[in-house]
Amino acid sequence: DAGITQSPRYKITETGRQVTLMCHQTWSHSYMFWYRQDLGHGLRLIYYSAAADITDKGEVPDGYVVSRSKTENFPLTLESATRSQTSVYFCASRGPSGGPGETQYFGPGTRLLVL
C-alpha cells in the first residue's frame, strides 16, 4: 500500500522558472491538500481540492496554481518561482469521504530551493 507519494523529493531551481511538484495517492480519498512548512509558521495551507476538478484557495495561494483532473493526482505548479517560495512542501489527503472528523495523511514532502 503506497499511500501518498510526492516527487521530486528535492528540487533546486532558479528565480523565474516554472516548477511542478507532484502528489499521488492510492486511497481514492476525495480531499487533497498542499501545505508549505516554514520555520516560525508551522504548516500553511496553499490550496485544497474536494474532488476531481474542484479546487479552492487556502491561506497562502499567491504564486501557485493547482489542478486535479484525476482523483489520485494533485500537482502544484509554481508559475514563476521566487526566493520566498523556498520551503518544504507537503501534500496531504483526507478520506474516505473527506468528512471533517476523518484523519488527514501526509506525504513525505518536497524540499524546494529557489536560487
Asked if 96 and 27 touch (Cβ cutoff 8 Å), the reply is: yes
31 contributes a contact to another protein by CB under 8 A: yes
Question: Exactly one of 22, 45, 52, 113 binds another protein (CB under 8 A); which one?
Answer: 45
42 contributes a contact to another protein by CB under 8 A: yes
58 contributes a contact to another protein by CB under 8 A: yes
* Number of residues in the chain: 115
43 contributes a contact to another protein by CB under 8 A: yes
Strands 31-38 and 42-51: antiparallel
113 contributes a contact to another protein by CB under 8 A: no
- Paired with 21 in beta bridges are 76
